[in-house]
Amino acid sequence: MRASGGEYRPSSNYNSPFWTTNSGAPVWNNNSSLTVGIRGPILLEDYHLVEKLAQFDRERIPERVVHARGASAKGFFEVTHDVSHLTCADFLRAPGVQTPIIVRFSTVIHERGSPETLRDPRGFAVKFYTREGNFDLVGNNFPVFFIRDGMKFPDMVHALKPNPKSHIQENWRILDFFSHHPESLHMFSFLFDDVGVPLNYRHMDGSGVHTFTLLNREGKATYVKFHWRPTSGVKCLLEDEAVTVGGNNHSHGTQDLYDSIAAGNYPEWKLFIQTMDPEHEDRFDFDPLDVTKTWPEDIFPLQPVGRMVLNKNIDNFFNENEQLAFCPAIIVPGIYYSDDKLLQTRIFSYSDTQRHRLGPNYLMLPVNAPKCAHHNNHHDGFMNFMHRDEEVNYFPSRYDPVRHAERFPIPSSVVTGRREKSIIDKENNFKQPGERYRSWAPDRQERFVHRWVDALSDPRVTHEIRDIWISYWSQCDKSLGHKIATRLNVKPTM
């Protein structure tokens, strides 16, 4: 039986004129426990009471380790420019093609109930429900990241999360950890910039961050970076504004998104790509697969692809936000990964997280399930609610006509090399953050300096760590390091 919204629901929950248990049994009294006499004690045989309490006790699933605080909305993606020469992805096959989507915006580090005005990167994840399966474009509002190798991801999150002793997020821990990783400077040039606190989710950029690979029907590979640009422009909150907004409403971003869509003021973003021939990746003074670097737009201009419109609010926050799960490994024919070290680790870790948090069958949940026909022999496990009555659950079989899908291209480059743990050759950690700082107006530079002086003034930041950061910023821009050192009454080491 279908609910009014078109989704399948158990018949016992749909339009029943009386109260029932989860199994559909009628409940004649949903107000009083079954007791011995009027006063009790309560009997364990009161199944409805036990089910009601047990269900309530389990209403909260474990929150995400990162991106716990989020808001979602639904809409469509429409192709506006022909990119069929670059990719055979069906949903990008021609201008005018529309694909249903759901988007989840989030903060990264803070808990599920935290204010949305805290300085933090924002998650920007889009699930495309294509005819060839789902495509998850899982990114952030910044085009770069703190680290370039997933080996450091747990350490990075531990440093950014609250102190395990006091449960207080503290600058000295963050500055200590990242003092060992100057690759983080570019990311900090975004995080400590004005864009570190977006006005709301509607007025921020999005980026796929990683380098992916596009493949056309002939199998030609092209490196690609994905970028979302809001048609309403990027807007931010400065410190005093963030305090006021967050003090009045710690869910201001979620409410703004919901209210805007409800009022018919639909948020919209343009999708752009940057492309690079893989044969050219060694021509630059940086590694194009390094997530701490951007591709200069004067060399790799933004090319328009399509637009995304969010025109429908979610129907249920738990079902379509808390249970909404993304994974960078979920791609479609015509889009593939690259050798980006951080992307390679995310391919594993995201789905592994969701199997722990939501269960091994999380992709059966309606919000995560593909809208196209699908078939496999993944059976059983916790919360498998798929009704299956076939007798053959192996492949191949002469009793089951299912076959391999039509072959589609994947990158065919030859891979050679020694087994080793190493860092990339072209670190070049200081050039791009320095260029970014110099591109700002003086008042924006001043705010950046002020935020770093505040952070480095933490009483638990040692002289050694303070000197390292002044040295780092001096190598990005000599005047920047000098300003920070002067405000801190120390001499720059460069």
Same domain, 222 and 290: yes
* 220 and 104 within one domain: yes
pLDDT in tens, 305-340: 999 999 999 999 999 999 999 999 999 999 999 999
Where does a domain end: 347, 364, 381?
A: 364
175 assigned to some structural domain: no
Q: Write down the residue that tokens 């950046």 correspond to.
A: 448
**Judgement on whether residues 356 and 434 belong to the same structural domain of the protein:** no
Same domain? 206 vs 351: yes
Q: Are residues 110 and 235 in the same domain?
A: yes
Dist CA 260 CA 254 (whole Å): 10
> What is residue 383's predicted lDDT score, i.e. its pLDDT?
82
Residue 211 lies in a domain: yes
List the one residue out of 179, 172, 174, 183 whose CA is nearest residue 108.
Answer: 174
CA–CA distance, 261 with 277 (Å, rounded to integer):
39
Give residue-wise pLDDT tens across range 348-357. Answer: 889 899 999 9
**Is 350 assigned a ligand-binding role in the annotation?**
yes
97-129 pLDDT, tens per residue?
999 999 999 999 999 999 999 999 999 999 999
Q: How many residues are listed for the chain in this entry?
A: 494
Domain boundary among 322, 338, 364: 364
pLDDT band for 49, please (50, 70, 90 cuts): confident
Residue 370 falls inside a structural domain: no
CATH number of the domain that residue 21 is part of: 4.10.91.20
Is the peptide bond prior to 396 cis by the omega test (within 30 degrees of 0)? yes
Percent of the chain's residues with pLDDT above 90: 71
CATH number of 126's domain: 2.40.180.10
Q: Which domain holds residue 74?
A: 70-147+197-364
Rg (the chain; Cα; Å): 26
Sign of CA dihedral 75, 320, 136, 361: negative
Q: What is the DSSP letter of 358?
A: T
Residue 412 within any structural domain of the chain: no
d(CA 186, CA 436): 8
- 29 lies in the same domain as 74: no
Q: Between these two residues, 447 and 421, which has the higher pLDDT value?
A: 447
- Residues 202 and 306 grouped into a single domain: yes
Residue 439 placed within a domain: yes
Query: Are both 220 and 320 inside the same structural domain?
Result: yes
Whether the model pTM is above 0.85: yes
Instruction: Tell me the average pLDDT across 366-389.
Output: 83
**Domain assignment present for 278:** yes
Mind telling me the catalytic residues? 67, 140
Does residue 5 belong to any structural domain of this protein?
no
Q: Answer yes or no: do 141 and 215 share one domain.
A: yes
Do 224 and 296 fall into the same domain? yes
Within this chain, do residues 36 and 114 fall inside the same structural domain, yes or no? no
The one-letter code for the residue type at 461 is: V
Say which amino acid occupies 432: Q
Do both 85 and 38 map to the same domain?
no
pLDDT interval class at 365 (50, 70, 90) = very high
Give exposure, 91-121, as e/b (b: 16+ Cβ within 10 Å): bbbeeebebebbbbbbbbbbeeebbbbbebb
Spatial distance between the Cα atoms of 427 and 411, rounded to a whole number of angstroms: 25
| Domain count within the chain | 3
